[in-house]
Amino acid sequence: MIVTVLLLLSSLTFPPSPPSELRAFDTPNDAGRSITLTWKNPPEDESLKGYEVYRAEAVKGEYSMVGFVLSGDETYRDGDVVDGVEYYYFVRGLREVEFSDSERVGPAVSRAQWFNVGRTSFLVIVVVFCVLVFWYIRRARRGDSLFVRKIPGLEAVDEAVGRSTEMGRPVLYVSGLGTLSDVTTLAALSILGRVAKRTAQYEVPLIVPCTEPLVMTTAQEIVKQSYTEAGRPDLYNEGNIFYLTYDQFGYAAGVDGIMLRDRPGAVFLQGYFYAEALILAETGYAIGAIQIAGTTSTTQLPFFVAACDYTLIGEEMFAASSYLSKEPVMLGTLKAEDVMKVLIVVIFLGAALLGTLGFLVSRYSGHEGLTNAFESLVNLFAAE
């Protein structure tokens, strides 16, 4: 007991150990105006409050505090610097009153980089993918037939709208909580165009409650265009595509209310969903509607699979516009996707094989060549 108290008192009286191995360098792969500092924490000191970062423009100049990080952190990014100017730093380990300073380091100069090395793999993948897309588009334009597997969820669109027509009930289209800047929402809107064309042909009302005004405006234009293309602009009702609310559960309550009051015969749940996904899908099930869901949210997919008649899983949503339009050029991009997936699987298998072999070779013969090759491969594809 006495020893513990003495240790505690001594730890409070003496200054903490200073941070060691301080480095200040230009933040890599950025647009400049940033210097990164790294250091090593002193041996475990729970009474340490944090670190103050000090900066000056000359090694013996006047240092001023530019930032504070809590104890445990070992990096700080100074984003308030001018490119081309030399800066010097030190870091102060702070207890309550006691402190200790690291050595001074510098000069560090920030500069903008022309190329983000950490994104090389992204560039390689995009370039390869673009080449594949152009290649398959060219093939499609030449008239080559491209096989695309059946997607039951998209085949069922006509069935769902038809059933709604037979029941004399409206069709409800829910485009999720995504904004117009989400590519999932754009995919959902392209499916909406197809659904709207069918509802116009079958003369069934289409209800589209939206969670974002910009999505609402776009949806109105898409539906209007689809009704015109179907030769029934007279059936278009702007009031059926309306804004509900930005609030997640307010939106869920509003859509549930529409389902229970209007009892749609078909419900489309297409877009990006969060926790409200199952609330909507189960209410749709309860009213006996045929439900076609589609999302890229892996956490909500199981709920849709459990509660809906058909589910478009991830990529199937993005394939929808190409699949439904049957245009050769659009189908060409689908083929490119498939080839890219095969390439990625081959890379995964190769890396797994290389890693396993590297482990076995280094364990039984001590050679690190394969392990190093495996690590280089992993680093090449490690995203920044």
Which residues between 130 and 169 bind other proteins (CB under 8 A)? 130, 133, 137
Given 108, 174, 187, 266, the residue binding other proteins (CB under 8 A): 187
Query: Based on CB atoms, which residue is closest to other proteins, 267 or 281?
Result: 281
Peptide linkage before 107 cis (omega within 30 of 0): yes
E strand spans, 147-265:
171-176, 206-210, 241-243
- State how far the alpha carbon of 269 is from the alpha carbons of 94, 204, 258, 272, 343, in Å: 54, 18, 14, 9, 32
Nearest to 171 by CA among 277, 336, 289: 289
Given 244, 255, 292, 293, the residue binding other proteins (CB under 8 A): 244
Given 48, 281, 290, 370, the residue binding other proteins (CB under 8 A): 281
**Residue 251 burial class via C-beta count within 10 angstroms: exposed 0-12, middle 13-18, buried 19 and up:** buried
Query: Based on CB atoms, which residue is closest to other proteins, 7 or 344?
Result: 344
What single DSSP character describes residue 327? -
Which of 6-14, 55-63, 74-82, 303-311 is the region at the interface with other proteins (rule: CB under 8 A)? Answer: 303-311
Based on the shown chain and the rule CB under 8 A, indicate whether residue 371 belongs to the binding site for other proteins: no
Residues numbered 29-88 forming contacts with other proteins, rule: CB under 8 A: 29-32
Residues whose CB is less than 8 angstroms from the CB of residue 238 and which lie 6 or more positions away in sequence, other chains included? 220, 224
Task: Indicate the angle between helix axes 213-229 and 183-202, nearest 10 degrees.
Answer: 40
Based on the shown chain and the rule CB under 8 A, indicate whether residue 25 belongs to the binding site for other proteins: no
On whether the CB atoms of residues 339 and 347 are closer than 8 A, the answer is: no
Based on the shown chain and the rule CB under 8 A, indicate whether residue 278 belongs to the binding site for other proteins: yes
Query: Based on CB atoms, which residue is closest to other proteins, 94 or 215?
Result: 215
Which of 13-21, 63-71, 73-81, 236-244 is the region at the interface with other proteins (rule: CB under 8 A)? Answer: 236-244
- The three-state secondary structure class of 29 is coil
Given 8, 9, 344, 360, the residue binding other proteins (CB under 8 A): 344
Closest distance to other proteins from the beta carbon of 209 (Å): 10
Given 216, 255, 259, 370, the residue binding other proteins (CB under 8 A): 216
Tokens 């513990």 sit on residue: 4
Based on the shown chain and the rule CB under 8 A, indicate whether residue 200 belongs to the binding site for other proteins: no
State how beta strands 35-40 and 75-78 pair.
Answer: antiparallel
Based on the shown chain and the rule CB under 8 A, indicate whether residue 127 belongs to the binding site for other proteins: no
Which of 4-12, 59-67, 117-125, 354-362 is the region at the interface with other proteins (rule: CB under 8 A)? Answer: 117-125
Based on the shown chain and the rule CB under 8 A, indicate whether residue 314 belongs to the binding site for other proteins: yes
The footprint of other proteins on this chain (CB under 8 A) covers a number of residues equal to 83
Which of 47-55, 142-150, 157-165, 314-322 is the region at the interface with other proteins (rule: CB under 8 A)? Answer: 314-322
Residues numbered 248-277 forming contacts with other proteins, rule: CB under 8 A: 248-250, 252-253, 257, 261, 275-276
Given 171, 255, 301, 354, the residue binding other proteins (CB under 8 A): 301
**Residue 304 burial class via C-beta count within 10 angstroms: exposed 0-12, middle 13-18, buried 19 and up:** buried
Based on the shown chain and the rule CB under 8 A, indicate whether residue 114 belongs to the binding site for other proteins: yes
Given 160, 222, 290, 292, the residue binding other proteins (CB under 8 A): 222
Based on the shown chain and the rule CB under 8 A, indicate whether residue 319 belongs to the binding site for other proteins: yes
- Separation between Cα atoms, residue 102 and residue 18, nearest integer Å: 5
**Ordered DSSP codes for 198-217:** HHHHHT--EEEEESSHHHHH
- Separation between Cα atoms, residue 251 and residue 340, nearest integer Å: 38
